[in-house]
Structures are given as C-alpha cells and as structure tokens.
Amino acid sequence: MKWVVRSLGWFATTTLLLMSVVACSDKESLTTASSSIASEIVSLDVYKSRTCGCCKKWISHIEDFGFESEVHHPANLNKIKSDKGIEPRYQSCHTAVSSDGYVFEGHIPGQIIQQFLADPPKNAIGLAVPSMPVGSPGMEVGDRFDPYDVLLLMTDGSSEVYIHMANAQSGLPGVGDSSSGEHP
C-alpha cells in the first residue's frame, strides 16, 4: 500500500511541475527551443596545406556562420580536388566537402554556403571562388575589395555565376548587388 501512495505522490508532483513549467513558458520560447533542437550543425571536411594562413582565416569565418570543420592536410591536395570533380580552372587554395558530398572550393562566404545548402540546384556539385580575391573571407586586406563571382559547378563540368560579390556585404538579404540569374 505504501508503494501505491508513493507512486501516486510521485506522479502528482511530476504532473504539477510539468504544468507549472509549461504555464510559465511563453509560446515563442517553446517554438525557439524546438526549432533549435530541429536544426542541425553542418560539418565540412576542409582539405588544405598545413602552412596556408588564409585558409585558417576562412575556416574561422565559416565557423562564425555555425559550420563545424574538420581540417585535413593531404599529401596530394590536387588529387582530392580532381577526385571531387573540381577542374583546375576553378581551383583555389582549399576545398571543403559537406556530408552530402557538395564541394566548396576557395574563399566562399559562409552565408552563400548556407544559401546553397538550403536549396542546392539540380545537377550541382558545389560552388567555387577561383584564385584568391582580395576582400573575400580569409583574404581581407584593410578596406580593399575586388569584386568576384561565386561560381556554381555542375556535374557536366560546366559552371555559371551563382552570385556576384560586388562588395563585402553582397549576398546578405537586401544588401549589395547580389542577384545573378535564377540563384540568390
């Protein structure tokens, strides 16, 4: 009998506690909590040379945008790029690969990677910023900025402009000259 009374007491206490937490919580905080639980952190495998300082800066940049990174220093970086379908004309100093297999070659802004991953175009293998444009993430030099294109790489080896970065704020919603074609 004592066991039944203790069990009922435990049940009543737990129910009261749960009801008070729900009653004291507003709808918005419950929604926020459930949406943060639902969102997942995107991890990128980053392949780079051990000595590249701009790559380290770019990795810090993407981590500021919520990406996790696992850094690799392969003996033959060009083989990784080739194996992932990144032609020499699109290459830069580092290559990132998502768990879905999308590639991100070079100094691509974190917000552009987020946009791409939210709705990857059909037949795309990823994005590239060939070479190392001044002012791109990891390549900051004071206030200097050289406009550049972020290219959409396709499975057939072709590319098109995914977004034009006219200034450091391009690609942010409502800011800069960021539209190009049907992409963001």
Q: Residue 176 domain-assigned?
A: no
Looking at the structure of the chain, the number of domains it has is 2
Task: Looking at the structure, tell me whether residues 79 and 13 fall in a common domain.
Answer: no
Confidence at 165, pLDDT banded by 50, 70, 90: very high
Confidence at 37, pLDDT banded by 50, 70, 90: very low
Task: Looking at the structure, tell me whether residues 16 and 97 fall in a common domain.
Answer: no
Mean pLDDT of the chain: 79
Q: Residue 177 domain-assigned?
A: no
Q: Which residue has the higher pLDDT, 75 or 27?
A: 75
DSSP 121: P
Domain that holds residue 102: 40-165
**pLDDT of amino acid 32:** 35
Alpha-carbon distances of 51 from 31, 59, 126, 137, 146, rounded to whole Å = 44, 14, 25, 17, 24
pTM score, whole prediction:
0.73
Starting at the edge strand found earlier in the chain, the sheet holding 95-98 runs 68-72, 43-47, 95-98, 103-106, 124-129, 148-154, 159-165
User: Residue 83 and residue 77: Cα distance in Å, rounded?
Assistant: 10
Instruction: Give residue-wise pLDDT tens across range 97-117.
Output: 999 999 999 999 999 999 999
Q: SS3 for 109?
A: coil
Confidence at 68, pLDDT banded by 50, 70, 90: very high
Q: Residue 158 domain-assigned?
A: yes
Confidence at 118, pLDDT banded by 50, 70, 90: very high
- For position 100, which CATH number holds? 3.40.30
Angle value at C-alpha 93, between 89 and 94, nearest 5 degrees? 105
